Structure 1
Amino acid sequence: MQGTEAIYVLIDLARSPDMYPRMNQMARFTSQHIYSGDIAPKVLCTTPHLAPMPKGSGLMDWWREPEQRELLVACRTRVSQEVLRTHFRTLLRARFPDGNRYLFRFWDPRVLHTYLTQANTYERAAFFGPIESFYFHPAAGLDMPEWHNAMAEDPRYDPHAGGGFGKDGVPISQRTLNAFAPLRRDALLVELFQYARRKLTHWSAALGDVELKRRVRVAVEHAETYGFKNPAAIRAYFTQMTLTPNFDQVDEVRQILLDNCIPEDKKITACSKLNVTVLSKVGAIGQTWPT
């Protein structure tokens, strides 16, 4: 059964503190978060939201702003908002080649565009489901600002017929994972910046955004030189740097960081268990943030 065509917008509220109040100004009673269940108010303002975007509306004007090129993605469909929201919930998890599942931030225009570029025909059809088209902001500089569902061109196409993925989540091939590498690093930098603002206020409160971003970038680069890849392990390394920026200059610490026999998620813990004499060296090497 064909319904009335409508345009919806996915809003990435986590990328900027200004997004939630602006969304409420224009779509307070029509927007819905796409997660399941009740969401705590503190979390609600950072979750992805879905809202109808009629032509001539404030949301449409917002969508056209160049500043939103990495924050908003639109889609066209003939199903209701609730059916569309249900479909999006089947896309919230991604299954990586190692079998592990992770949150899939498909509402980020860069993530979505990269996935659609790398996905095969079957994966793309399942991902589209009831969606006929995705639209990216022209100012985003993407090769294909519009993606259309090839299945929707068939006269027999039924947007209610299914789509989406099972409990294992969206399958991510190694090729797609490789294509995500730059985005994953950018997302890590954003996550650590937000983590510092929320959890490390005793250290970050005196820093402006530019300086804090610089320090986050330097910390990630330092962690990567020791083979850190896991985001949780890199966060632990970053946290240690906020306490003693140059802790890796101590020989005993560096030996641990370079030891490939120690899992990366245990290296910082191993450093903290060094004896008092060694730890006194850590405290004496200075508080200047490395470049």
Structure 2
Amino acid sequence: MTPFLSRCYASRGAEHVELIAAALCADRQDYELLVIEALSDKGYQFYWSGTVLPATSWVKQYPAEAAYAVALARSVNEGRQRVALGAMTRQPGSRDVAEDDKWLQIETLGPFTPLDAQFSVYPKKTVPNMLRETLFGQPDPTKAERDEFGDHTPPLATYAVLDAAKMPYLLTSFLEDSGLRYQSLFQGKAQEELAEHAPYLVELTEDNHFTCRLFTGPDGIGGLWEKELGIFLRCRAGFDALRKHLRKFIRLQDADGRWFYFRFWEQRYAHCFFSTACAETHWMMMVTQEHSLAVICPKGSSIIIAHAHRSVEHTNIIASKPTEEWVAGLAEEESNRAFQNKLIDKFIFSNSKYGHIEHEKAQEIVKILLEQAQGYGFESEYALSTYVSVALELSQFPAENECYRKLLESAKHPDTKAELMLKSIVYAKGDADD
């Protein structure tokens, strides 16, 4: 066995760090097992290492860090210390969970299956069993609610914000026939002109046939679940107070003073708007000084539930009305996250070499690689995804390879660089197969 070195990346909650680690071992696999155990003892989870080389080779490749790395390598031995972890450097964007973040709690339920035709089922369900308590249960009032209302705490009602634009002329007919209380979030001239494309607030009851249709999938009769019509809310404030509050941010202004509609009910992005512990989310989820929201956002075959809690400790949290920049920023983050997940599924979870990695760690690996690629001017999805695939195939950062580093630092167009990197990997794999 010989001392090996590498730059490693690990996390603990929202804190992400990098460090140089030395281990007395036989190969990369042995190295990572030892480092994983050592980091785990300190409460960190390992998720990536760069080039793993014998110490003599590693310090030649990274002379700027040679003195420090050699000291680490010399400290490992076959006795009680086969691993030496260097100083941990917190990565940009890393943070501890702040106390003020605790006003917002996020829960994920699923995967679940929407209702089917329910032949031979009696009584028929109106919501899947997994979602019933979340949607129609009556939990005990919180301490803040008991302090505020005593023995007269209002019941927790269930609402939906549904988008008529997804089913023009049909959704409004369904609502009219449902017998449920509903009202557009638009009013005046906007409602007159956009009635069939407006968002509607609907107070749901568990025993209603329209409620059943909302949670019925394509295997049922008249199911609406696949239409992705909107989101669900729970609140004690009452219909009128909730509608008044939602109308406050139905339209927002951009930096130039122009108005636009904020489609906060859109399922693709709703979980971002309501599960980010920030001043804007706090403003949206506090309906009144006494009443807060729980927002239930469908996402694929699961749902994300964001609970806002009002308590004495959180009365000093600054609230701020959402802005166009805030909405655009979160939407861009979600698009980036979707792209990252696409790369994770394609290049990590489909690869037996990396299939054991947890999703959170895979996200951090891909995030690091994308930031590197962008640092070399890569912008297109093709170039970014190619950089990630090459790095994973090499099991090292491309810039740590002299040939790839020269290519990355060249004046060629980023897409051309990506194409040449990919061809090099393909040729190398072909030679290896031969």
Higher helix share: 1
Give 1 or 2 for the bigger CA radius of gyration: 2
**TM-score computed with the length of structure 2 as normaliser:** 0.35
Higher strand share: 2
Higher relative contact order, chain-length normalized (CA < 8 Å, sep 6+): 1
